[in-house]
């Protein structure tokens, strides 16, 4: 510690001494210049170098009382300082600079209780790293929470066992196949809702314990004891603050040195207000209002209240963000969701409530010009498991004609580990988009076709046997398809016309179906009245020509009648599969 200059004016000084007790009381004004001190590293906290250009402390009253081997102390007054600075780990972990800080009506008392009417800070410039913040938010020195990657929980837990336990309790997880799909996730949510657990739809050891227990738990995340209200017994520090205001365009420079690649965020605060903070009273609501600009382009606003400890907080928060540049945050999505954000801007509003640390809320987001892709093939497969459709297809279907997407995303999890589960929300949004164009009865089969590795059709346009004329029903289907393409300009389609066995007898020059053999009453395909078809019908030129005419008819209608760009409509070679028992049609697949 080093002080260049120190002086004090003592206005009052009283000392009282008696057998087994002593008391001191004073009132004074102290001034210091050129203060510097060093706090060495301890446990997981780094070394801190503190410098103060000038400080003034006006003590209205300070007292020390020693009696029976117990020392009690208290001090009250106003404190101000100028040109404050703090350097963490020689600047590698962070820096703090304040032009001026002032505390009004400060009261200090043992054990580590701090009370003040107002705290005013002007001209703050702070640089923080994630490695510095992690120990501060870690409870009991626990290891930092790892980001949840798709399937990470499944890698450590027996998914089949959880599926069986869910089924035994009356919830439908789908087939017991050891795969974490949408039905299993929804069954977990239903179980969590019924049992009063935090609703996140994810696998966890807490979930497994609840499923295995003789009766369901009624409190979510009850593994940790509730330590609120035990300040006096444990000697924890408490802080009571009537109002805190930060002025002078304070700046915060955040450096995430934990994730790869590293993330840098530079924020300038337009407003930072905090009222009625009391860490010793779990029922006291602290109100806050924050407005900032991040990286010179993203506006962020936070308002609401919070009470209780960080881990078990109650809260009600509204957040708003405008013009968020998505590629900046791609490393977090790559790590937690296996998704790379190559481009895009986001506007969003979130409303979140918390009870004893459990979160429930919703985030409404609008994304423009989104360019996304899975990081790996494994991530792509996991996204299909979670979302229900391939990522790129979901994005293209959700984009409107201007390239914008809108989503409502549920927020669950814990205050210390919030979770935004995009899977069901994206699936619902894609279904809603399709439902604006196609009959509701087709939506389920359309969604299934988007992930069918066997290549099932997105939709089919039906024809009469032996005819390539587009019927009225086929035109209606083509009209809906044209509307989908007009509203989603990045989509394209492929037309395939598998000639049908029903065409064989309707085309004079085509191979005919022989009469059904009496020795095979169910026919060669288990269908009464359907006879085996010779394999050489597969190459019949009349059937191939008919199939080609049908794809051409649909293509002409879409491009010439409905104005669809011809470059977005392709045709595949006509086929005839002897095992195909479908009717005469043109199958449409979407890319």
Cross-strand bridge partners of residue 466 = none
- What per-residue string of b and e applies to 294-327 under the rule 16 or more CB within 10 Å gives b? beeebebbbbbebbbbebbbbbebebebbebbbe
pLDDT at 152: 41
Cβ(55)–Cβ(81) under 8 Å?
yes
> What confidence score (pLDDT) does residue 120 get?
94
Percent of the chain with pLDDT over 70: 77
Average pLDDT, integer, range 407-426: 77
Common-topology check for domains 152-212 and 457-590: no
**pLDDT, tens only, 447-469:** 666 655 555 678 889 898 888 89
State residue 201's pLDDT score: 78
> What CA–CA distance (Å, rounded) separates 429 from 426?
5
Residue 539 CB neighbours (<10 A): 10
CATH topology of domain 457-590: 60s Ribosomal Protein L30; Chain: A; (3.30.1330)
Give residue 148's pLDDT.
40
Report how far residue 67's alpha carbon sits from residue 63's, in angstroms, rounded to the nearest whole number.
13
The radius of gyration of the chain's CA atoms, rounded to the nearest angstrom, is 34
pLDDT above 90 (res 243): yes
The mean-pLDDT minimum among 217-221, 419-423, 505-509, 579-583 falls in 217-221
Residue 327: per-residue pLDDT: 93
- Show the CA angle centred on residue 163, arms to residues 162 and 164, nearest 5°: 90
The strand pair at 48-67 and 21-39 is best described as antiparallel
Please give the Cα distance from 453 to 450 (Å, whole number).
Answer: 9
Instruction: Note the Cα 135 to chain centre separation in Å.
Output: 23
Q: Where are the domains of the chain?
A: 1-129+239-248+268-308, 152-212, 309-433, 457-590
DSSP-derived pairing of the beta strands 585-590 and 459-462: antiparallel
Give kind and range of the element (H or E) at residue 510.
Answer: none
Cα–Cα distance between 483 and 99 in angstroms, integer?
60
List the CATH code of the domain at 152-212: 1.10.101
The string of DSSP letters for 242-290 reads EEEEEES--EEEEEE-SSSS-EEEEEEEEEEEEEEEETT-TTPPEEEEE
pLDDT computed for residue 230 by the predictor: 42
Mean pLDDT of all residues in 343-348 = 93
How far, in Å, CA of 533 to CA of 524, rounded?
9
| Residue 225 predicted with pLDDT over 50 | no
């Amino acid at each position: 510690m080093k002080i260049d200059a120190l002086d004090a004016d003592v206005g009052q000084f009283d000392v009282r001494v008696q057998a087994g007790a002593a008391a001191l009381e004073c009132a004074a004004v102290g001034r210091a210049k050129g203060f510097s001190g060093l706090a060495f590293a301890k446990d997981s906290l780094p070394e801190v170098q503190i410098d103060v250009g000038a400080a003034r402390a006006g003590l209205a009253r300070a007292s020390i009382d020693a009696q029976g081997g117990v020392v009690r102390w208290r001090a009250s007054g106003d404190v101000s300082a100028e040109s404050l600075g703090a350097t963490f780990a020689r600047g590698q972990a962070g820096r703090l600079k304040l032009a001026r800080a002032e505390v009004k009506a400060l009261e200090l008392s043992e054990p580590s209780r701090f009370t003040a009417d107002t705290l005013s800070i002007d001209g703050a410039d702070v640089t923080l790293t994630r490695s510095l913040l992690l120990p501060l938010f870690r409870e009991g020195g626990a290891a930092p929470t790892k980001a949840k990657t798709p399937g990470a929980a499944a890698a450590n837990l027996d998914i089949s066992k959880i599926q069986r336990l869910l089924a035994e309790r009356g919830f439908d997880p789908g087939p017991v196949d050891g795969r974490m799909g949408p039905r299993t996730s929804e069954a977990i949510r239903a179980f969590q809702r019924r049992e009063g657990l935090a609703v996140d739809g994810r696998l966890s050891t807490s979930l497994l314990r609840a499923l295995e227990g003789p009766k369901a738990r009624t409190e979510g995340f009850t593994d940790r004891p509730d330590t609120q209200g035990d300040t006096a017994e444990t000697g924890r520090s408490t802080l009571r603050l009537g109002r805190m205001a930060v002025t002078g365009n304070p700046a915060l420079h955040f450096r995430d040195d934990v994730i790869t690649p590293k993330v840098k965020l530079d924020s300038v605060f337009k407003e930072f207000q905090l009222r009625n903070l009391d860490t010793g009273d779990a029922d006291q609501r602290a109100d806050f209002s924050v407005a900032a600009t991040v990286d010179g382009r993203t506006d962020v606003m936070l308002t609401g209240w919070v009470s209780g400890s960080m881990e078990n907080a109650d809260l009600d928060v509204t957040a708003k963000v405008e013009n968020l540049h998505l590629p900046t945050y791609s490393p977090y999505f790559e790590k937690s969701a296996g998704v790379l954000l190559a481009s895009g801007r986001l506007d969003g509003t979130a409303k979140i409530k918390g009870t004893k640390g459990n979160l429930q809320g919703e985030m409404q987001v609008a994304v423009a010009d989104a360019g996304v892709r899975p990081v790996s093939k494994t991530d792509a497969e996991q996204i299909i498991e979670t979302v229900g459709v391939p990522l790129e297809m979901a994005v293209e279907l959700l984009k409107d004609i201007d390239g914008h997407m809108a989503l409502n995303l549920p927020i669950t999890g814990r205050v210390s580990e919030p979770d935004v589960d995009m899977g069901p929300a994206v699936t619902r949004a894609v279904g809603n988009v399709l439902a604006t164009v196609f009959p509701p009865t087709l939506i389920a089969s359309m969604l299934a076709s988007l992930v069918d590795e066997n290549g099932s059709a997105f939709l089919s346009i039906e024809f009469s046997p032996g005819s390539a004329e587009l019927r009225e029903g086929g035109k209606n289907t083509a009209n809906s398809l044209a509307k989908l393409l007009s509203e989603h300009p990045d989509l394209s389609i492929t037309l395939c016309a598998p000639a049908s066995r029903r065409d064989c007898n309707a085309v004079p020059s085509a191979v005919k179906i022989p009469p059904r053999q009496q020795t095979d009453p169910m026919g060669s395909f288990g269908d009464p009245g359907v006879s085996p078809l010779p394999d050489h019908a597969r190459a019949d030129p009349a059937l191939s020509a008919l199939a080609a005419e049908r794809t051409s008819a649909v293509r002409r209608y879409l491009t010439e009648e409905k104005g669809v760009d011809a470059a977005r409509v392709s045709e595949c070679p006509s086929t005839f599969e002897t095992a195909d028992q479908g009717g005469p049609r043109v199958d449409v697949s979407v890319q």
